[in-house]
Amino acid sequence: MDSLIVVINALPAIAAGGVVTVGTVAVSLALGFVLGTPLAVCQVYGCAAARRLAEIYVWFFRGVPILVLLFLFYGLFIALNLPAAPFLICSVTLGMTSTAYQSQIYRGAIQSLPKGQLNAARALGMGDKTAVACIILPQALRLSIPGFANEFSILLKDSAICFVLGAQDIMARAGFVAARTHEHLALYAAAGLLYFALTHIVVKLLLRLERHFRIPDYAVEGGGRS
Amino acid sequence: MMADLLRVEGIGKTLGGRRILNDCALSVNRGDLKVLIGPSGAGKSTLLQCINCLIPPDEGEIWLDGERLDRTNSAELCAFRAHVGMIFQDFNLFDHLPAGENVAIALRRVRGFSRAQARERALTELARVGLVDRAHLYPAQLSGGQRQRVAIARALAMDPRVILLDEPTSALDPELVGEVLSVIQELARGGMTMIMATHQVEFARVLATEILFMEHGVIIERGAPEALLAEGRASRTRDFCARLAEFRIND
Amino acid sequence: MPDIAFFTQTLLPALNRGLLVSLSLIIPAGVLGFLGGVALGCLRAFGPPPLQRLGDAYTALLRGVPLVVQLLMIYYALPGLGIYFEPYGAALTGFVLCTAAYQSEYVRGAIQSIRKGQMQAALALGFSKRGAVIWIIVPQAARRALPGCGNEIIYLIKYSSLAYLVTCMELMGEGKVVASDTFRFTEVFLTVGAYYLVMVTLAGWMLRCLERRFYVPGFGAA
């Protein structure tokens, strides 16, 4: 029973950590979306040099563990005299990693569209930029929602290591209370459940979003690790 | 006990509370081609799958060459199935093996042929269906008609005493039906014993030794095609075939 | 200016030491996790319904909770129940339990993607049920599961860095010690990153070779 009381007492702190966690993930996802979309377009339609650069970016961020990247960015922030706030470093690191993963989702979706779509847009006199922005992306992004939901749940779980840089997220708060009360099992179980619940709630919401935007009888892509 | 090659009696099957087959009996002699005709859902396919126990019948007996099949003995069941070939509506070629290996794998793993023996036999059978030059291609690289011909070669390679054909041309585009039917016709002419469910009435009229008409899980009429399909004869079979023909024309 | 001596005398020896520990985590965790995933996947596909549900629940839980939480629980919370782990044992246990859950997802998906007719055709040719599974179902399911299971190994390579959080001194941990001692975070973690990049790239290359080796036209992901 003691452990239950400890958990209940710790709930406000853990919830405050939840706000930090969700904030970090939201900023990272947004950054990943803003940078990942052009990166995907560049990988499909860019010139050879741009494609090569995009490939190297994706290769790097997909090949290096988040934990290593966090410390690397910490070092870079210090070296470049940027403000070394944990929230900022974590969001940028997760965001740039997510950029790599999200670009792969959008690239796959763009490539799954029939060739005729771009040709039809060109035949109507659209420039390539207009065609991609008005015809290709609206279709590709719809197809990407399940992949995006996947990416969210991966990112949420990855964000649980941000405490190593001092971010005051769920894990940091749970760990702090655990260190004082020695109720590690109860507190980490509570943290785990919170992550579990957050994943499921947001993924449900995103899939509802997908149904909202779904075009009847339109094929949908999915898959990947979640 | 009798001269029939394959004989089934009293086959019945209930699935999910629905009576699919009721007291079905048929027998084939060496060289017979028996054709099952009837509307979709009549139980033709279930009957064929009950004969080789892919769907185990709830009741009924099966004899091959006068020997009663003990369905509970799995070794005996496997041996029985190896002697009874089956052609499926949707081919069911093994998707991960090229055509030649599709024919060879059961020879090697069921009949115990060596790799070389199996390969040689597979090529012989593929030649028989006109596909020896396609042995290296995978199912996905073949047309529907070619896939079904490979499936026939696969069944033939096991030296079956009888072949069950479950609507072998139903999943094919119209222009591919002919190539498969002509292979089956070759087999019939060569004296192969077969039981075939089909909607190809003309084919049945010309080649069948007997037509069995099924409806609601029961064989309700049987007889030689010339008798059942004769002009002016009021048979359910004839009605059904006439409707099929009408439908074809309206198509 | 890059300080050659720092690299050759301090950083690289430490990282090479860590690399050995990392490999001794990744290889057993990969093998055991894969075998566990196959067993769990088969259980979830073929097992009796109550066990299927249990397997599903286990998988959902381990895939839904961050690996860090699992590792910290094993290392810091289980002693409260009288179960003690060395850092290495805690990391290895956590990796095996978690990666098995992910692997089982691919194995189960692959098994369920095999069309029913494949089994029927095999039985109709006289295969025994066991023979049909060995010669027809497994070769197909293995091909379907290969990309997913291979990717999972690649994830495992990267997530093995989390062992540092339970004080297991592998590649990441050795790097962190050098970085903290010298405060050269950028150089140290670029180098650590390069080690992981090499491992991940090699593993990816081997996976692609395997996929090419077992490629069958028209037999892709379900």
What pLDDT score does B3 carry? 66
Range of B74's domain? 6-250
Contact check, Cβ <8 Å, C73/A79:
no
Tokens encoding C22: 């990392």
Q: Which residues of C touch B79 (CB under 8 A)?
A: 126
What pLDDT score does C115 carry? 87
- Residue that is written with structure tokens 């060395």 in the block: C86
- Widest pairwise Cα distance in chain B: 57
Domain assignment present for residue C167? The answer is: yes
Q: Which residues of B touch C120 (CB under 8 A)?
A: 49, 54, 88, 92
Residues of chain B with pLDDT under 50: 1, 251
Predicted TM-score (pTM) of the model is 0.85
Q: Read off the CATH number of the domain in which A110 is found.
A: 1.10.3720.10
Query: Is some CB atom of chain B closer than 8 A to the CB atom of C120?
Result: yes
CB-defined contacts A:C, below 8 A: 125
Domain assignment present for residue A207? The answer is: yes
Domain assignment present for residue C218? The answer is: no
Q: Which residues of C touch B90 (CB under 8 A)?
A: 117
Domain assignment present for residue C220? The answer is: no
Q: C204 to chain A: nearest residue by CA?
A: A63
Mean of all residue pLDDT scores within chain A = 90
What pLDDT score does C1 carry? 54
What pLDDT score does B233 carry? 78
Say how many C-beta atoms besides its own lie within 10 A of residue B221's C-beta.
18
Please give the span between the terminal C-alpha atoms of chain C, in angstroms, as a whole number: 53
Tokens encoding C137: 């179902």
Write the residue in C128, C135, C219 that is nearest to B95 by C-beta. C219
Cβ B208 vs Cβ B35: under 8 Å: yes
Contact check, Cβ <8 Å, C128/B88:
no
Cβ B34 vs Cβ B209: under 8 Å: yes
Say how many C-beta atoms besides its own lie within 10 A of residue C161's C-beta.
26
Residues contacting A181, CB < 8 A, separation 6+:
A6, A187
Q: What is the H or E stretch that residue A70 is in?
A: helix A66-79
Tokens encoding A134: 């008005």
Domain assignment present for residue A225? The answer is: no
Contact check, Cβ <8 Å, C65/A164:
no
Q: Which residues of C touch B78 (CB under 8 A)?
A: 126-128
Q: Among C116, C125, C216, which would you mutate to test the B interface (most chain B Cβ atoms within 10 Å of its Cβ)?
A: C125
Contact check, Cβ <8 Å, C131/B82:
no
Q: Which residues of B touch C137 (CB under 8 A)?
A: none
Domain assignment present for residue A222? The answer is: no
Distance from CA of B232 to the nearest CA of C (A): 41
* Range C144-149 average pLDDT: 94
In degrees, to the nearest 5, what angle opens at C-alpha B88 toward C-alphas B85 and B89? 155
Q: How far apart are CA A117 and CA A107, in angstroms?
A: 15
What pLDDT score does C222 carry? 46
- In chain C, the number of structural domains is 1
Q: How far apart are CA A140 and CA A144, in angstroms?
A: 6
Which chains does B contact via 3+ CB–CB distances below 8 A?
Answer: C
Residues A68-99: tens digit of each pLDDT: 999 999 999 999 999 989 999 999 999 999 99
Q: C201 to chain A: nearest residue by CA?
A: A63
Cβ B131 vs Cβ B83: under 8 Å: no
Distance from CA of A120 to the nearest CA of C (A): 29
Say if A and C touch: at least 3 Cβ pairs within 8 Å. yes
Say if A and B touch: at least 3 Cβ pairs within 8 Å. no
Whether the per-residue pLDDT at C143 is higher than 80: the answer is yes
Query: Is some CB atom of chain C closer than 8 A to the CB atom of B144?
Result: no
Q: C122 to chain B: nearest residue by CA?
A: B106
- In chain A, the number of structural domains is 1
Contact check, Cβ <8 Å, C185/A171:
no
What pLDDT score does B244 carry? 81
Contact check, Cβ <8 Å, C77/A188:
yes
Name the 3-class secondary structure at B212.
Answer: strand
Tell me the residues of chain C between 121 and 150 that have a Cβ less than 8 Å away from chain B: 121-129, 131, 135-136, 139-140, 143
Distance from CA of A50 to the nearest CA of C (A): 21
Query: Is some CB atom of chain C closer than 8 A to the CB atom of B73?
Result: no
Contact check, Cβ <8 Å, A184/C80:
yes
Domain assignment present for residue B53? The answer is: yes
Q: Read off the CATH number of the domain in which B95 is found.
A: 3.40.50.300
Domain assignment present for residue B1? The answer is: no
Query: Is some CB atom of chain C closer than 8 A to the CB atom of B249?
Result: no
Query: Is some CB atom of chain C closer than 8 A to the CB atom of A66?
Result: yes
Q: How far apart are CA C29 and CA C19, in angstroms?
A: 15
Domain assignment present for residue C221? The answer is: no
CB-defined contacts B:C, below 8 A: 82
Q: Which residue has the higher pLDDT, A226 or B105?
A: B105
Range of C106's domain? 4-213
Domain assignment present for residue B201? The answer is: yes
Q: Which residues of A touch C69 (CB under 8 A)?
A: 160, 171, 188, 191-192, 195
Q: How far apart are CA B100 and CA B153, in angstroms?
A: 9
Q: Among B49, B51, B78, which would you mutate to test the C interface (most chain C Cβ atoms within 10 Å of its Cβ)?
A: B78
Write the residue in A68, A185, A193 that is nearest to C189 by C-beta. A68
Percent over 90 (pLDDT), chain C: 85
What pLDDT score does C59 carry? 96
Contact check, Cβ <8 Å, B96/C139:
yes
Whether the per-residue pLDDT at A224 is higher than 80: the answer is no
Range of A42's domain? 2-213
Query: Is some CB atom of chain C closer than 8 A to the CB atom of B55?
Result: no
Q: Which residues of C touch A189 (CB under 8 A)?
A: 73, 77
Cβ A27 vs Cβ A89: under 8 Å: no
* Residue A217 binned pLDDT confidence (cut-offs 50, 70, 90): low
For C109-132, b where at least 16 C-beta lie within 10 A, e where not — what string? Answer: bbbeebeebbbbbbbbbbbbeebb
Whether the per-residue pLDDT at A167 is higher than 90: the answer is yes
Can you give the three-state secondary structure of chain C, one letter per residue?
Answer: CCCHHHHHHHHHHHHHHHHHHHHHHHHHHHHHHHHHHHHHHHHHHHCCHHHHHHHHHHHHHHHHCCHHHHHHHHHHHHHHHCCCCCHHHHHHHHHHHHHHHHHHHHHHHHHHHCCHHHHHHHHHCCCCHHHHHHHHHHHHHHHHHHHHHHHHHHHHHHHHHHHHHHCCCCHHHHHHHHHHHHCCHHHHHHHHHHHHHHHHHHHHHHHHHHHHHCCCCCCCCC
Write the residue in C123, C129, C131 that is nearest to B109 by C-beta. C131
Domain assignment present for residue B82? The answer is: yes
Contact check, Cβ <8 Å, B110/C139:
no
* Range A156-175 average pLDDT: 95
Q: How far apart are CA B36 and CA B20, in angstroms?
A: 15
Q: Read off the CATH number of the domain in which C8 is found.
A: 1.10.3720.10
Q: Which residues of C touch B82 (CB under 8 A)?
A: 125-126
Query: Is some CB atom of chain B closer than 8 A to the CB atom of C208?
Result: no
Whether the per-residue pLDDT at C34 is higher than 90: the answer is yes
Most confident segment among A142-146, A208-212, C29-33, C109-113: C29-33
